[in-house]
Amino acid sequence: MNPGRGKKREGFWADAGKRLKRNKAAMLGLMMVILFILVAMLAPLLAPYQPEQIDLFSVLTPPSREHWLGTDYYGRDLLSRIIYGTRISLAVGLTVQLISLTIGTLLGSLAGYYGGKVDLVIMRIVDIVLSFPSLLLIIAIMVALGPSIFNVFLALGLVSWTRTARIMRSEFIVTRERDYVKAARAIGNNHFRIMFKHILPNCLAPLIIIFTMGIANAIMMEASLSFLGLGAQEPTPSWGSIINNGLQYLRTAPWYSLFPGLAIAYTVLGFNLLGDGLRDALDPKMKDV
């Protein structure tokens, strides 16, 4: 190990941590995200009812002491459904980011490291995927695969890796010329080891930013798909599908669609605030990513 380099990295992360802590908006975002994750983990303890518990004697009741946020068309408790909905959103955010970061990092680093024809082919694939308006491509994939929450993971993951690929490519192009990479090559490391053992750990900062922002985006996209009836199916308590179901009762039971929308806005805002803060703290150059 090179002690000098290790110290420098530590300094970078410590500095970034300090910058992040000073950023009030980012800390608010962090707290919102932590609360969201806690609700998802503790859902069975927090929810007053089972999310699928049907009660036909209290259909579409307005918010009351028994049902804080009212009930839906089947008399299910909306608060409980929204609380369990955090699990769907969290699962979507994490899984989609796992898929898209894996594909994006792999293709982006190959393109950036090897350059030439590999780069050309990979970047043309990126161009083609990016030339679809994302929702249309996701809709087409969902129609082809059939609506289910698992297919939502797959469709969103398959469409959203391009940004990661582009950023990782440019990181690798810069990094592959660094002295320590040349040194690693000179002492006979193979390409795989150089790419993933030497270069990749130095590209962690942009990956963290993409990860955070990507979760917000994935949650929003899942909600949109479920709202169009292409995502999670009944009785899964996805926020988007609750809004969709409530839409026809908008005049008589506005709370039905109101609260799940607030939940989406809260969660996405939390991740966006945190993402903005992380970007400013980790990489001031990376604007508008």
Partner 1 sequence: MFQYILYRLCLVFPVLLGVMLITFFLMYIVPGDPVLTMLGQHASDESIARIRAQLRLDDPWYSQLANYLLRTLRGDLGRSYITHIPVRDALLQKLPNTVRLALAAIVVAIIMGVTIGIISAIYQNSWIDYVAMTFALLFISTPVFWFGMLLVFFFAMRLGWFPISGMGDGGWQYLFLPAITLGSRFAAFLARYTRSVMLEIIRDDYIRTARAKGVKESMVVLKHALKNVMIPVITVIGLNLASLLNGSVLTESIFAWPGFGRYMVAAIQKRDFQVIAGSVLVGAVIFIFFNLIVDLLYVALDPRIKYE
Q: Which among 205, 91, 112, 110 is positioned nearest to 157, based on CA atoms?
A: 91
Buried b (16+ CB within 10 A) or exposed e, 179-196: eebeebeeeeeeeeebbe
Work out which of 257, 277, 278, 280 binds partner 1, going by CB under 8 A: 257
Determine the interface stretch with partner 1 among 2-10, 66-74, 94-102, 260-268 (rule: CB under 8 A).
Answer: 260-268
Spatial contact of 66 and 78, defined as CB atoms under 8 Å apart: no
Residue owning tokens 């799940």: 260
CA distances 169 to 119, 128, 202, 279, Å, are: 9, 17, 13, 18
Which residue, 125 or 183, is less far from partner 1 as judged by CB? 125
Check residue 283 for interaction with partner 1 (CB under 8 A).
Answer: no
Site string for partner 1, 178-217 (x = CB under 8 A): --------------------------------------x-
Q: How far apart are CA 138 and CA 223, in angstroms?
A: 13
Which residue, 30 or 194, is less far from partner 1 as judged by CB? 30
The token pair at 100 is 């898209």
Check residue 134 for interaction with partner 1 (CB under 8 A).
Answer: yes
Mapping DSSP to helix (H, G, I), strand (E, B) and coil, where does residue 1 land?
A: coil
Work out which of 46, 60, 118, 137 binds partner 1, going by CB under 8 A: 137
Q: How far apart are CA 183 and CA 201, in angstroms?
A: 16
Min CB(240)–partner 1 separation in Å: 8
Check residue 143 for interaction with partner 1 (CB under 8 A).
Answer: yes
In sign, the C-alpha dihedral spanning 243, 140, 234, 268 is negative
Work out which of 70, 112, 231, 240 binds partner 1, going by CB under 8 A: 240
Q: Which of residues 108-127 bind partner 1 (CB under 8 A)?
A: 124-125, 127
Query: In the complex, which residues of this chain contact partner 1 (CB under 8 A)?
Result: 124-125, 127-128, 131-137, 139-141, 143-144, 146, 216, 220, 223-224, 227-230, 240, 243, 247, 250-251, 254, 257-258, 261, 264-265, 268-269, 272-273, 276, 287-288
